[in-house]
Structure 1
Amino acid sequence: MSAIRAFRSISVSSRAAAVHRSGYSTVGSRLAPLVQAFSKRAFSVSARAFGQGTADVPLSSKLLEEMKYEKESMAEFSKDPDFLRDFKAQGKWQIENTPFNDEVTLSRKFGNENLRLTFSIVDIRGEQDESFDNESAAQESEEDGSQEEEVLNTYPIRASLTINKAGTPGALAIDMMCQEGQFVVDNIAYYKDGSLATDSTAEADWKRRGIYMGPQFDTLDIGLQEEFDKFLQERGIDEHLAFFIPEFAEFKEQTEYVQWLEGVKDFVDA
């Protein structure tokens, strides 16, 4: 062994022995903060891996803020607002309103007929966005000094009515648009197999594709259109129902939005 190597070996051994005797490690003391920081970092990473990211709390707070605002805006309504209580009090239509579902179904009996009218709140969301654009355009038009046009929130909503008769195999399926207190009929289809009017299976949908759906309603003889209108109004497809549907759709959309906020917040917080 060379003299230099022997000297280094003796120095290291002496230093190690001194550390062992004193019970104090200079190297360990220098590494302690790094080990602690690494431990904290490892804990933070593992926490985020279990769905507790840094963005969760701010998102949850914002969801809660929005939820409180929406609930305050609905505070004027009880469980059933006045227009809904009045509609139910008439006793003509039964409302099938499933939470977390876009569609609403109104059903009633008329003699030996079963009527089911279905509409969706999807239309009202799209119409609200378009209404916002129209209001912005109207404000810009006013600023430019041009004639201001009144913007009406009429919420046109598509509706589908099926009419079945007890003991009769056929059925009518009527596609309509509900807007400004009236129903505008698009077409009236007749099914020899009445189940096709209400069956939502893929097989039924395939069968409907090959069936003649009838002409556009507005191409029919005027007298025939008028008789169909009387036929529908006698069964409760009238002005009162045409005003109720957009109002209920707006109420349901607001209710569903609050439930959506609650569900998303619960999921984020879990």
Structure 2
Amino acid sequence: MSAIRALRQLSTVSSRSTVFRSTSFVARARLASLQVPSRAFSVSARSFGQGTADVALSNKLTEEMKYEKESMTDSPKEAADILEQFKAQGKWQIEDTSFNDEVTLTRKFGNENLRLTFSIVDIRGEQEDFDNEAASEENDEDGSQEEEVLNTYPIRVSLTVTKSSTPGSLAIDMMCQEGQFVVDNIAYYKEGSLATDLTAEADWKRRGIYMGPQFDTLDIGLQEEFDKFLQERGVDQTLALFIPEYAEHKEQREYVSWLEGVKGFVDA
């Protein structure tokens, strides 16, 4: 729904700016002609127990929530079906925490522990790029074009592979888009914890480590063997199709939760 939200916003931007420019001068002229005591403003604000803009903001938040919830009427069931089908495969365990940008997938493969993470931040970033591009195009794009935009968000994915029999680890950075993973880089750490440790000390140690070459500069045969290595561990087309679809539902869900949280705070 994020791309549809962007299109809806674009349709109102120009009209808002025109109205603002046309009314701002009149408003200033009216204010200049009025002799309003400063005490009247403070009494009004105190009588409401809040800022003068709070009511308008709260109403706008309610309007946005209403629109988003109506737009996602079937989304909860659809998202639940997608998740249920994914879990039924029995490969990956999913960790999805509300109000958290990241989703984590974990699984065991032999003596290996795999941890894959992706973030809905990438969807928001792509939405901003989409806004800039769409602003220069016709506003009468058909529905099929909108659907294409929705299904082509590239999402960064990080995969770490550790083994119980060795202290080392692999950290693999990839892009997930259009039903496939594109590997960007494969790093090897002698200390396995460096692949997953988020402390400042671990970050400092990683800065001085050779991260390996760009994946696409490797010998073609070596690239193909790495692809087979990943597919055997479940990093395959099925997963590449699931991640963007689930990320889109999560972004929409988090946006609605954000609207509800902000409105609750403003109204308190």
Tell me which interval the TM-score lies in, with the shorter structure as reference length.
0.7 to 0.9
Give 1:42 deviation, angstroms: 5.9
For the structure 1 residues 72 and 225, does the alpha-carbon distance in structure 2 shift closer, same or farther, using more than 3 Å as the test? same
Give 1:188 deviation, angstroms: 0.5
Question: 1:139 is paired with a residue of what secondary structure?
Answer: coil
Question: 2:68 is paired with a residue of what secondary structure?
Answer: helix
Give 1:133 deviation, angstroms: 3.7
Residue 246 of structure 1 aligns with which residue?
244
Contact 2:215/2:223, CA 8 A, preserved across alignment:
yes
Question: 1:78 is paired with a residue of what secondary structure?
Answer: helix
Give 1:81 deviation, angstroms: 3.2
Give 1:135 deviation, angstroms: 4.1
Paired residue type of 1:111: G
* Structure 1 position 266 matched with structure 2 position 234: no
Which of 208, 222, 229 is the equivalent residue of 1:224?
Answer: 222
Residue 12 of structure 1 aligns with which residue?
none
Give 1:78 deviation, angstroms: 3.0
User: Counterparts of 1:131 and 1:39 in 2: how far apart (Å)?
Assistant: 47
Give 1:39 deviation, angstroms: 9.0
Residue 204 of structure 2 aligns with which residue?
206
For the structure 1 residues 46 and 115, does the alpha-carbon distance in structure 2 shift closer, same or farther, using more than 3 Å as the test? same
User: Counterparts of 1:232 and 1:84 in 2: how far apart (Å)?
Assistant: 22
Give 1:84 deviation, angstroms: 1.9
User: For structure 2, which runs of at least 5 residues remain unmatched after alignment?
Assistant: 1-36
For the structure 1 residues 41 and 140, does the alpha-carbon distance in structure 2 shift closer, same or farther, using more than 3 Å as the test? closer
* Structure 1 position 103 matched with structure 2 position 116: no
Question: 2:210 is paired with a residue of what secondary structure?
Answer: coil
Paired residue type of 1:108: R
Contact 2:111/2:163, CA 8 A, preserved across alignment:
yes
Residue 92 of structure 2 aligns with which residue?
93
Paired residue type of 1:235: R
Rg: which structure is higher? 1
User: Counterparts of 1:239 and 1:132 in 2: how far apart (Å)?
Assistant: 29
Q: CA RMSD in A?
A: 2.5
Contact 1:157/1:246, CA 8 A, preserved across alignment:
yes
Contact 1:47/1:53, CA 8 A, preserved across alignment:
no
Residue 112 of structure 1 aligns with which residue?
111
Contact 1:135/1:151, CA 8 A, preserved across alignment:
no
> 5 Å matches for 1:1-270?
43-47=43-47, 52-78=50-76, 80-139=79-138, 152-153=149-150, 154-270=152-268
Paired residue type of 2:97: T
User: Counterparts of 1:69 and 1:229 in 2: how far apart (Å)?
Assistant: 43
Deviations 1:38-78 (A, max 9, x none): 99766435446x5x122111111111111111111111123
Give 1:242 deviation, angstroms: 0.8
Deviations 1:99-132 (A, max 9, x none): 1111111111111111000111111111123234
User: Counterparts of 1:193 and 1:170 in 2: how far apart (Å)?
Assistant: 5
Contact 1:103/1:120, CA 8 A, preserved across alignment:
yes
User: Counterparts of 2:218 and 2:38 in 1: how far apart (Å)?
Assistant: 79
Tell me the TM-score normalised to structure 1 length: 0.77
User: Counterparts of 1:135 and 1:46 in 2: how far apart (Å)?
Assistant: 44
User: Counterparts of 1:86 and 1:227 in 2: how far apart (Å)?
Assistant: 29
Paired residue type of 2:104: T
User: Counterparts of 1:140 and 1:264 in 2: how far apart (Å)?
Assistant: 31
User: Counterparts of 1:57 and 1:141 in 2: how far apart (Å)?
Assistant: 34
Question: 2:75 is paired with a residue of what secondary structure?
Answer: coil
Contact 1:107/1:116, CA 8 A, preserved across alignment:
yes
Counting matched residue pairs gives 226
Contact 1:134/1:151, CA 8 A, preserved across alignment:
no
Contact 1:131/1:151, CA 8 A, preserved across alignment:
no
User: Counterparts of 2:39 and 2:255 in 1: how far apart (Å)?
Assistant: 42
Give 1:166 deviation, angstroms: 1.0
User: For structure 1, which runs of at least 5 residues remain unmatched after alignment?
Assistant: 1-36, 143-147
Paired residue type of 1:118: T
Paired residue type of 2:66: K
User: Counterparts of 1:269 and 1:152 in 2: how far apart (Å)?
Assistant: 36
